[in-house]
Amino acid sequence: MADLRNDFVGIKSPNPFWLASAPPTDKAYNVERAFKAGWGGVVWKTLGEEGPPVVNVNGPRYGAIWGADRRLLGLNNIELITDRDLYVNLREMKQVKMNWPDRALVASIMVPCEEESWKAILPLVEETGADGIELNFGCPHGMSERGMGAAVGQVPEYIEMVVRWCKQYTRMPVITKLTPNITDIRKPARAAKAGGTDAVSLINTINSIVSVDLDNFAPNPTVGGKGTHGGYCGPAVKPIALNMVAEIARDPETYGLPISGIGGITTWRDAAEFMALGAGNVQVCTAAMTYGFKIVQEMITGLSNWMDAKGHRTLDDIVARAVPNVTDWQYLNLNYIAKARIDQDACIKCGRCHIACEDTSHQAITQFVDGVRHFEVMEDECVGCNLCVNVCPVENCITMVGLEAGTLDQRTGKPVDPTYANWTTHPNNPMARQAAE
């Protein structure tokens, strides 16, 4: 059996699946249920400083994007950090940690960008027995207008400054949560590392308006006739999150910095992809809000079965395995050639491949042969773009096949040389140069 035990910057948990800081981790009741269901850890919903309470809207807080089958693809929220009393949260965190000593419990924190505010709250959190803290530099709505959340996360100098304060005033591991609402994710990651952070987590939610109510002409969710931008999450943001995780994992200045991956993780496969691109563990929110806490059981079983089948014994066997294969476009092998192949037995003759190729690509798929409806790839016109693969409604009906070395490419008339450029040892790869030195 694969060993799913996770050690993330010294924070141990029985598996790499944590709940992210969000509504599912707002109180002891939820967290206890999550741990009973099998979650390896939680990041408690973001705590604010002692003082006037945070007030959330008492109306719609979520907007959504659905697929054709009404499967939830993206969720937009305008909810703020916890509106529960700080000391109530702290007492509950302490009790939960006592009840579940083998599970990871991390406190998410957001207070004003002032040294005294951070210095005051850190000992209170430390007293709960929490395993670590996560600095919320990502929240894009509500709190950012008050000079917190993404307002800090978008300024590398602020990130470095606050991380230094936290490393000075607490013994706990510090995880810095980054905002995706920035041009280059590497810059805040570098700043966090310069400040001494133990790890980064990403991505937080993406600034968004998901839809407009065309009867009231206001953004959804609409509160009393008005709407606002919110934070976008769910399966739709996964590609953005994967890219940002990979950017940090392969950046020479942040190479080796532990990463907690967040963003649209719904299945064990999603989690494995994040870990392959450098994440040491993963955090989940929208999937739990959509399907309930027991979804983690499918994640645990699926990841374990896949690792067993592939011969991976521990999580270390897969973490960052894909990073050397992430490169810049200029290093792709332009001599590699692949062609589409249609499985005629699986083809349902819908014609989507043909019309997509005919109207928007390279006119490489037939529609009729001898007057009979028939779809087949014309190799001399196919450029291997794989648009047909992506629009085909039948899985594995159309596949891409790489041509062997020496094969004559009918389109160019030149022999094929499909040898991949070895980016792992490429002299322009900064990590390769660093390793050589």
Name the burial class of residue 412, with classes exposed (0-12), middle (13-18) and buried (19+) by CB atoms within 10 angstroms of its CB. exposed
Does residue 139 carry a catalytic annotation?
A: yes
Helix (H), strand (E), coil (C) string for the chain: CCECCEEECCEEECCCEEECCCHHHCCHHHHHHHHHHCCCEEEEEEECCCCCCCCCCCCCCEEEEECCCCCEEEEEECCCCCCCCHHHHHHHHHHHHHHCCCCEEEEEECCCCCHHHHHHHHHHHHCCCCCEEEEECCCCCCCHHHCCCHHHHCCHHHHHHHHHHHHHHCCCCEEEECCCCCCCCHHHHHHHHHHCCCEEEECCCEEECCEEECCCCEEECCECCECCCEEEECHHHHHHHHHHHHHHHHCCCCCCCCEEEECCCCCHHHHHHHHHCCEEEEEECHHHHHHCCCHHHHHHHHHHHHHHHHCCCEHHHCCCCCHHHCCCHHHCCCCCCEEEEECCCCCCCCCHHHHHHHHHCCCCECCEECCEECCCECCCCCCCCCHHHHHCCCCCCEEEEECCCCCECCCCCCECCCCCCCCCCCCCCHHHHHHHC
C-alpha–C-alpha distance, residues 67 and 372, integer Å: 34
How far lies 325's CA from each of 65, 250, 278, 426, 427, in Å?
32, 10, 12, 11, 15
Please identify which of the residues 113, 139, 285, 382 carries the catalytic annotation: 139
CA atoms within 13 A on the CB side of 430: 10
Residue 97, Cβ neighbours under 10 Å: how many? 17
How far apart are alpha carbons 190 and 212 in whole angstroms?
37
The two beta strands, 72-77 and 398-402, are unpaired
Please, are residues 365 and 354 in contact by the beta-carbon 8 Å criterion?
yes
- What residues are labeled active site? 139
